[in-house]
Structure 1
Amino acid sequence: MKTSSLSILTLSIFLFLSLPSLSLAERCNPKDKKVLFQIKKDLGNPYHLASWDPKRDCCDWYVVECDPNTNRINALTVFQANISGQIPAAVADLPYLETLVFRHITNITGTIPEAISKLVRLKTLRLSWTNLTGPVPASLSNLKNLTFLELNFNQLTGSIPPQLAQLTNLGAIRLDRNRFTGEIPEEFGKWTGSVPDLYLSHNQLTGSVPKSLGNMNFSTIDLSRNKLVGDISFMFGKNKSTQSADYSRNMFEFDFSKVKEFPASLVSLDLNHNKIMGSIPASLTKVDDLRAINVSYNRLCGKIPTGGNLQSFDVYSYLHNKCLCGAPLPAC
């Protein structure tokens, strides 16, 4: 009798262990799995997503991650993939997403899906190095938990939505290398919460920089290669903690000598290819950590102040000014 019972127990254990692992411990939420299959279908079932097999736990699939506490999909990261088509609106049906990335995929086209604004848990949104076109949906301002927004290296057009300034947790916002037109939103100078690193370079922005931006303490600001005009002397100041400022290749026109103080934290300053006049302020010699400066192709005059790091840069940092002189340029 004991032998018979032992045999039955042994057989039961064998049968139990012989069952497919999928039925033993399927972590992936079935709703998320269904959505992922829809995303795969909408992208044309690409080889990049070959691991998305119904017989496997979707928490183990390529380019997705599951939250260990909820077992819900919290990251979809598609990078350098041979994928064509549009970003599926179905991504918005993964309500626990915290990271959404479509990056370095030149065959991704179409517009940014408005539905993404439903992903209120999203912290990182990177849609970059693609061929996305059209405007940035103003509704992205609903993503209050975003800490990083990257939409650069695309073909996006239209004006920059001022509503993006409502994203108070951003550490950085990258809108550079697109085809944005219009002016920099006044609201970008009224950011509450953390002040993000701001990248707006390589667009077609026009007008003057809003005075309100002078109230912001940007650690990094890059407005280069646009069509901006006017006086930006208000963007400097001793009480700021700016490390990198790039205003090059615009049409800024102001007297540089009006700038009396610079942030002690300044590491890099680029003002090349503008219409800046006057002389280089002597207060720049007090910026101890300055490692890069470029004021070439302006209308500056006078002697380059001696002291600090200003003589440590090569002539190319100062070339093609009206009457600038002194080391490293020829003597006055």
Structure 2
Amino acid sequence: MASSFSFFFLMLLPLAVISAVTPCPPSQRAALLAFKAALTEPYLGIFNTWNTTDCCASWYGIACDPTTGHVTDVNLRGESQDPMFQKLGLSGYMTGKISPEICTLSNLTSLVVADWKAISGEIPACVTSLSSLRLLDLAGNRIAGEIPTEIGNMRSLSVVSLADNEISGEIPTSIVNLRRLMHLDLSNNQVSGEIPYDFGKLRMLSRALLSGNQLTGSIPKSISRMKRLADLDVSLNRLTGSIPAELGKMKVLSTLKLDGNSMTGPVPSTLLRNTGMGILNLSRNGFSGTIPDVFGAGSYFMVLDLSFNNFSGRIPASLSASKFMGHLDLSNNHLCGAIPIGSSFEHIDAASFSNNDCLCGNPLKAC
């Protein structure tokens, strides 16, 4: 019995070896060469390896399914730890455009063409046909145009990074159909319009980085239903309205950056009471009212920045009971009265309390 099994296993070995070296189909090689032809990389020579008949064998940045030979990964990153980059002491620079030919690689699971600084053109609309794509990273280029409206068809996507480009237009409403999406980075573009009202349908999302755009409207209340969201950054936009109190009840949310908008109203006490909140930046808005006196021994802020608003009244005495206060900035408001005494304030300098109406006490002048 054992000898029969051994014979059967040995018979399979040649098949395994053959399947492990299955070359890529000629059509896929042709698609990659068309993709390469639309790009120019003058310094590192990463495309010099793209000169053999088999694109699955030692082509830089290309990986294939070992059984079928179909291309599964295009991974070209201009900021890389690759020895080729380190030896020359250069970061990547590439011009040209992303050819629609890339869309013929129907088995792609990752498409990374990031940090090349000068790739322009638009995102090919046909990428929405890549139903197996899990990672789309085109950050750090000069890509313009709009996000494809049918991006919601790409149901396998878990990471979308388009940061640091020149992308315009609105966030497509179909994006809420990406139910596996965990990381979304659209920061530092020219994206306009409102955040989709049903953005909260992205229940798997843990990071939503939308800063440095031209977004308008208010923060959708539906975001509070995102149970995995840990990092929400919508700073440096044109958002208005108030902070939904529901955000303060999110158990996983630990970083909230709303700075540099035109938001108004009071700060919900739920937000400051949330002991999981570690970085809260509400600076440079039009928030008003008193700062809720709801801090306690569970409060642990690496950053609490409420500067450049219209807060009035006293600094909450309960702030002194905080477990930790790394960076505190209450400057440029209308606060008045004595600065609380406590270990949380011992390392805070005068600049953090400057330009208020009538604050006094250490580190400012005595009351």
Same fold (TM over 0.5): yes
Separation in structure 1 between the aligned mates of residue 121 and residue 153 of structure 2, nearest angstrom: 21
Residue pairs, 1:1-332, within 5 angstroms: 27-43=23-39, 47-55=45-53, 58-80=56-78, 81-191=92-202, 193-217=203-227, 218-256=229-267, 258-259=269-270, 262-301=273-312, 302-306=314-318, 307-309=320-322, 312-314=325-327, 317-324=329-336, 326-327=339-340, 328=345, 329=353, 330-331=360-361
* One-letter code aligned to 2:315: K
Report the CA distance shift for 1:69/1:304 in structure 2 as closer, same or farther (over 3 A). Answer: farther
Would you say the 8 A contact 2:301–2:324 is kept in 1?
no
Shift of 1:233: 3.8
Separation in structure 2 between the aligned mates of residue 235 and residue 221 of structure 1, nearest angstrom: 14
Separation in structure 1 between the aligned mates of residue 325 and residue 193 of structure 2, nearest angstrom: 39
Report the CA distance shift for 1:309/1:89 in structure 2 as closer, same or farther (over 3 A). Answer: same
Aligned to 2:3: none
Separation in structure 1 between the aligned mates of residue 250 and residue 102 of structure 2, nearest angstrom: 43
Structure 2 length as normaliser, TM-score?
Answer: 0.77
* Deviation per residue, 1:107-160 (Å, 9 max, x gap): 211111001111111000001111111111111111101110001101111111
Larger mean Cα displacement after TM superposition, 282-291 or 222-231:
282-291
Separation in structure 1 between the aligned mates of residue 268 and residue 56 of structure 2, nearest angstrom: 62
Would you say the 8 A contact 2:55–2:62 is kept in 1?
no
Separation in structure 2 between the aligned mates of residue 144 and residue 257 of structure 1, nearest angstrom: 35
Report the CA distance shift for 1:309/1:117 in structure 2 as closer, same or farther (over 3 A). Answer: same
Report the CA distance shift for 1:324/1:71 in structure 2 as closer, same or farther (over 3 A). Answer: farther
Report the CA distance shift for 1:204/1:177 in structure 2 as closer, same or farther (over 3 A). Answer: same
Separation in structure 2 between the aligned mates of residue 44 and residue 313 of structure 1, nearest angstrom: 46
When the two structures are aligned, how many residues end up with a matched partner? 307
SS of the residue aligned with 1:40?
A: helix
Separation in structure 2 between the aligned mates of residue 282 and residue 54 of structure 1, nearest angstrom: 68
Separation in structure 1 between the aligned mates of residue 308 and residue 99 of structure 2, nearest angstrom: 46
- State the Cα RMSD in Å: 2.4
Larger mean Cα displacement after TM superposition, 53-62 or 155-164:
53-62
* One-letter code aligned to 1:53: N
Shift of 1:255: 1.5
Aligned to 1:4: none
Structure 1 length as normaliser, TM-score?
Answer: 0.84
Unaligned 5+ segments in structure 1 are 1-23
Separation in structure 2 between the aligned mates of residue 287 and residue 147 of structure 1, nearest angstrom: 33
Separation in structure 2 between the aligned mates of residue 109 and residue 33 of structure 1, nearest angstrom: 23
* One-letter code aligned to 2:222: S
Separation in structure 1 between the aligned mates of residue 271 and residue 34 of structure 2, nearest angstrom: 59
Shift of 1:292: 1.5
* One-letter code aligned to 2:71: I
Unaligned 5+ segments in structure 2 are 1-19, 79-91, 346-352, 354-359, 362-366
Shift of 1:53: 0.9
* Deviation per residue, 1:166-191 (Å, 9 max, x gap): 10001111111101111111121333
Would you say the 8 A contact 1:49–1:62 is kept in 2?
yes
Separation in structure 1 between the aligned mates of residue 259 and residue 271 of structure 2, nearest angstrom: 20
Report the CA distance shift for 1:144/1:227 in structure 2 as closer, same or farther (over 3 A). Answer: same
SS of the residue aligned with 2:265?
A: coil
* Deviation per residue, 1:259-300 (Å, 9 max, x gap): 476433211111111111122223233544322111111112
Identity %: 26
* One-letter code aligned to 2:289: G
Separation in structure 1 between the aligned mates of residue 242 and residue 52 of structure 2, nearest angstrom: 60
Separation in structure 1 between the aligned mates of residue 326 and residue 272 of structure 2, nearest angstrom: 20
